[in-house]
Chain A
Amino acid sequence: MKRLFALVIAGLLPLLGGCEMVVFQPQGPAARSITELINWSIWWMLLVVVVVFALFAYIVWKYRDRPERQGEEPPEEHGSTVLEIVWTVIPILIVIALTIPTVRTLYDLEKPPKGYENEKPLVIHVTSADWKWIFSYPEQNIETVNYVNIPANRLVLFKMTSASTMQSFWVPALAGQKYTMNKMETELYVVADRPGSYEGRNTNFNGRGYAHMQFEVLAQTPQEFEKWVQEVKQTAPKLTKEKYEQLLLPTHLGRLTFVDTHLQWVNHADPHSKTYTNPELYRGHGYQGKIFIREDNYKNSSTCNDEEQKALESDSGGEHHGH
């Protein structure tokens, strides 16, 4: 079995040779610290694999049944306290060796990377929707869809939320992933070492359009970035409320660029924000069930006048937060 196993591995190697593993080619300090942690764990795990495989091969070979052992009676043996303590303590030591850097990395990833502690970050709001990524630059007053330009070597803080399903923001070359959730805000510090284009995508399954929910992170030199901002301001159309609601429909979109951000109407991270769902648009094949529309849906706010809105709220009877 071992030989066949080795053959399988050997057969796979040429397939791996030509291709690159993004997790091992970090392009920013956040991703790099994770890669270092992974490399550290791989050495320990290889050690475990080698020891167990060797012991396994040795024991199975040495104590296999052979014709001349016919009738031989193996000894009664109930255990060995010393050995059992040994193989309890060694794994505990390995766990400790892995825990310390894990915890350290966990805390580090929540802070700006080393060397960028005192820098004021460029804040970009990330809003995931079905099935696209929306990036808002409040400072620059720009909004982009399915691509995000950042200056290289500068601290970027992504403030992430979702307008719909639970999704996961992942740019493996730059940083580990984090979920985006409606009425919730998650934060991610990212620095790109140098200009370049990096792939990002959603990793958390969210229906029909999931496979294509990708975006590009383009790291530019500060001058290029500034130039791009100015260009957008001069050429891009203005984002209107109607246009924004259209963006949120469950569709695939290419790259889009706007002046103004949707944050002026709604921040989906706000726990009291309206819910932007429309179940009718998710009707698929198969038998259809009953759907329920809630009073905090954005549709209601645009169709109801104020009195109806109040009536709805008193009907619901429950606690309703700030309007």
Chain B
Amino acid sequence: MGIKWNEIFVGGDPLLVGSQIAIVLTVVAIVVGLTYFKKWGWLWREWLTTVDHKKIGIMYILSGVLMFFRGGIDGLLMKAQTARPEMNFLDAQHYNEIFTTHGVIMILFMAMPFLIGLMNVVVPLQIGARDVAFPQLNALSFWLFFSGAMLFNISFVVGGSPDAGWTSYFPLAGKEFSPGIGNNYYAIALQIAGLGTLMTGINFIVTILKMRAPGMTLMKMPMFTWTTLITSIIIVAAFPIFTVALALMTFDRLYGTHFFTLSSGGSDMLWANLFWLWGHPEVYIVILPAFGIFSEVIATFSRKTLFGYTSMVVSIVGIAFLSMIVWVHHFYTMDAGPAVNSFFSITTMLIAVPTGVKIFNWLFTMRKGRIQFTTAMLWALAFVPNFVIGGVTGVMLAMAAADYQYHNTLFLVAHFHYVLIPGVVFAVFAGLYYWWPKMFGFMLNEKLGKYHFWLFVIGFNVTFMPMFFLGLKGAVRRAYTYSAESGFAPLFLVSAIGSIILAIGFAVFCYNIYWSFRYAKRNVSHDPWDARTLEWMTASPVQFYNFAVVPEVKQLDAFWHMKKRGETLTLKESDIKKIHMPSNSGLPFYMAVVFGITGFFLVFEAHIAAAVAAIGIVIGLVIRSFDYNDGYYVSVDEIKRTERTWRNVEGGTENHVG
């Protein structure tokens, strides 16, 4: 098949050999565990073949936690290497691989699945739908994402990691300077995962536009649903650009075309433009849903409706529009000329305007409210000042002339971590603490949650604040070491200490999941936070059909006003009708497997084997075309039984806030 199988494992380095052993042991443990507890059938029926948006969402979130762990280890290794000047913990090559995978994994395989996971769980519930518009496509989205993520993750032990940075700039990432197959992983794995994301975008646009409960006009949608809609539109607008760029990269690397090469008329600048044409909107793809989460959490725990709802909607639309016309600010230093740089400085700085509007709206949502310091709310509160630091440094970077002194320095690195960690990671934590009871029927421990919060937020600031100053002192990003004379050492050491605190915070979060899973009270109410939107109207955990009777929406914060009118728990059994639900399908999982195998062969440039494996993809498409399974009906009796169980225990449950 053209692959030298004896050469595919990367060896030599004790860190790598250790990882290889750990991976083998983990896989063996999982297989043995599943067999011993006879869980294979359960795994297949309940998870691998599911088309239920809530379970798919949970699988996304679980992937996000795993990838946070992997990306976090990468980050810690980088911090260990730079803790002292001229360290020899990692060599240059190893460091290059690690910051590349750290970036790719944190953006595409940590932030994205966390947010898409929450979107999956929450959005259909918020709009009173029974599932997304295309449930099986949704499962395919997840499995393609997962397939791409796994393919990317094996690179460091099988064949070699990509090592050209998460931006994968040409010509460096081309065969002229990176003849190893590491960067093939980038081209192929991200392509597979990206297909999944594109499908998610289409799916959520249709879901939100077509499947809202009666009465829920666009301007009565919860803010998280709004941000999901706009995010999905950006996904559909931006991801095809990345698809094309990756395809051209694949041709360049595998088949010797020269779109981005030095020789034969290729253009490295073309890659930079295509990459950031996708890459900048991508930043807003992860930040907008996070804004939605903060909007829900802040409104709920201030016990007030969102201040300036209309201007919030206008702001996210404005941000989405501007996000498409700022990409050149990533390479002002490419010398496109003062006119071009002036234009992109202005568009970039203008993003601060709608973002500022949102910040003030959140502040004024809290004003006159009754602010409850739950863990979810603490994350939302910490977001404001930290994100403002990220925002103002962003404006400083936006000024092209000033950027000539910040570009590619740690000032830039500090800036985007101050935007992405408060903006996305804090939001994900807020969302997880907030919606956890809805997903699992028990809460995450609030006390552990607060340890998690304080350690993480302090660790974050100690890690990244020094990097602003390092950048101004002339320290550049992606350098695996620095000299003792540079004077960078003390700040790098502080930063490394901060990263340990940060990591302990994340460890507390993982422990919290374990602790709460084992010991948390299971009699939590369907509405433990006394919240405002429709997802809190139905059971926790949510029954598979979501709503026995689809609610009718009269205004924004529909559930809040229903509670006011006292009409929440009254369910007339005569209203219940049989419910149509989609059937499970093993096809999405099958597609992930064949895509993964095809991708693997392509990475190793075994073209015939890849072509043979790709026949499997066509077979999957054919099977799907002849699939006449239209789903099934849930009988009225079953719905009645299910509804009685959770509605009857209602008196004996605990509300968390009052």
- Residues of A whose CB lies within 8 Å of any CB of B are 1-2, 4-5, 8-9, 12, 15-16, 18-24, 31, 33-35, 37-38, 41-42, 45, 48-49, 52-53, 55-56, 59-60, 63-65, 69-80, 83-84, 87-88, 91-92, 94-95, 98-99, 102-103, 105-107, 109-110, 130, 164-166, 168, 170, 172, 175-179, 181-184, 186-187, 199, 201, 203-211, 275, 277, 279-280, 282-292, 294-297, 316, 318
Contacts and interface: CB of A to CB of B under 8 A. Distances in A.
B389 interface: yes
A137 B558 CA distance: 74
Contact of B92 (A16, A24, A110, A211): A211
A21 B473 contact: yes
Given A63-B367, A103-B338, A209-B92, A288 B461 contact: no
Contact of A287 (B7, B253, B335, B407): B7
A91 B356 contact: yes
Given A20-B473, A56-B363, A74-B303, A210 B401 contact: no
A34 B335 contact: no
Given A8-B465, A277-B177, A279-B179, A78 B309 contact: yes
A286 B159 contact: yes
Given A179-B331, A205-B478, A289 B605 contact: yes
A60 B381 contact: yes
A172 B399 contact: no
B172 interface: yes
A178 B404 contact: yes
30 contacts: A4-B454, A15-B466, A38-B396, A49-B392, A53-B385, A53-B388, A64-B373, A65-B370, A70-B658, A74-B370, A77-B305, A80-B307, A88-B357, A91-B357, A99-B346, A102-B399, A102-B400, A109-B404, A165-B172, A181-B269, A182-B262, A203-B408, A203-B476, A205-B165, A205-B478, A283-B179, A285-B12, A287-B160, A287-B180, A316-B264
Interface residues of B, number: 123
B473 A287 contact: no
Contact of B345 (A23, A99, A165, A177): A99
A34 B179 CA distance: 40
B248 interface: no
A22 B420 CA distance: 27
B225 interface: no
Interface string B149-186: 00000000001110111000111100111111110100
B182 to A, nearest CB: 6
Contacts of B491: 12, 15-16, 19
Interface string B393-417: 1011001111111111100000000
**Looking at B388, B393, B480, which has the most chain A CB atoms within 10 Å of its CB?**
B388
Contacts of B406: 23
Given A38-B405, A203-B409, A95 B381 contact: no
Contacts of A183: 262
A95 B353 contact: yes
Interface string B614-644: 0000000000000000000000000000000
A65 B406 CA distance: 42
B350 A95 contact: yes
A210 B479 contact: yes
Given A37-B401, A205-B477, A207-B96, A186 B367 contact: no
Contacts of A18: 487
**Looking at A1, A279, A297, which has the most chain B CB atoms within 10 Å of its CB?**
A1
Contacts, number: 351
A1 B380 CA distance: 13
Contacts of A20: 473, 487
Interface string B242-278: 0000000000011010100111110011001000000
Contact of A105 (B171, B268, B384, B401): B401
Interface in B421-463: 454, 457-458, 461-462
B372 to A, nearest CB: 5
Interface string B279-294: 0000000000000000
B369 A74 contact: yes
Given A56-B385, A95-B350, 11 more contacts: A2-B385, A21-B469, A45-B393, A74-B369, A84-B311, A166-B170, A203-B407, A204-B408, A285-B93, A286-B160, A287-B180
B408 A19 contact: no
B353 A92 contact: yes
Contact of A286 (B10, B337, B388, B481): B10
Interface of B: 4, 7-8, 10, 12, 92-93, 96, 159-161, 163-165, 169-172, 175-182, 184, 253-254, 256, 258, 261-265, 268-269, 272, 302-305, 307-311, 331, 333-335, 337-338, 341-342, 345-346, 349-350, 352-353, 356-357, 359-361, 363-364, 366-373, 381-382, 384-385, 388-389, 392-393, 395-396, 399-409, 454, 457-458, 461-462, 465-466, 469, 472-474, 476-482, 487, 490-491, 494, 604-605, 658
A15 B472 CA distance: 14
Contacts of B487: 18-20
Main secondary structure of the interface of A (DSSP, over half): mixed
The 4 closest A-B pairs by CB, nearest first: A176-B404, A286-B160, A203-B408, A292-B256
Contacts of B180: 283-289
B404 A179 contact: no
B528 to A, nearest CB: 16
Nearest to B658: A70
Contacts of A182: 171, 262, 268
Contacts of A275: 176, 262-264
B335 A178 contact: yes
A154 B205 CA distance: 60
B367 A59 contact: yes
Contacts of A60: 366, 371, 381
Contacts of B357: 84, 87-88, 91
B400 A279 contact: no
Contact of A16 (B268, B360, B469, B481): B469
Contacts of B404: 34, 109, 175-178
Contacts of B163: 207, 284
Contacts of A63: 302, 366-371
Contacts of A294: 258, 261, 263-264
Nearest to A167: B172
A270 to B, nearest CB: 13
A196 to B, nearest CB: 15
Nearest to B351: A95
B172 A98 contact: no
Given A23-B405, A78-B309, A179-B331, A98 B159 contact: no
A91 B353 contact: yes
A194 B564 CA distance: 75
B179 A45 contact: no
Contacts of B8: 287
Contact of A12 (B373, B407, B465): B465
Contacts of A91: 352-353, 356-357
A60 B364 CA distance: 10
Contacts of B466: 12, 15
Given A56-B385, A63-B370, A102-B342, A41 B476 contact: no
Contacts of B477: 203, 205
Contacts of A38: 396, 402, 405
Contact of B305 (A53, A78, A296): A78
**Looking at A5, A76, A275, A286, which has the most chain B CB atoms within 10 Å of its CB?**
A286
**Looking at A21, A103, A109, which has the most chain B CB atoms within 10 Å of its CB?**
A103
Nearest to B9: A287
Nearest to A15: B490
A158 B181 CA distance: 37
A245 to B, nearest CB: 16
A110 B338 CA distance: 8
Contacts of A283: 179-180
A194 B357 CA distance: 47
A284 B91 CA distance: 13
Contacts of A110: 337-338
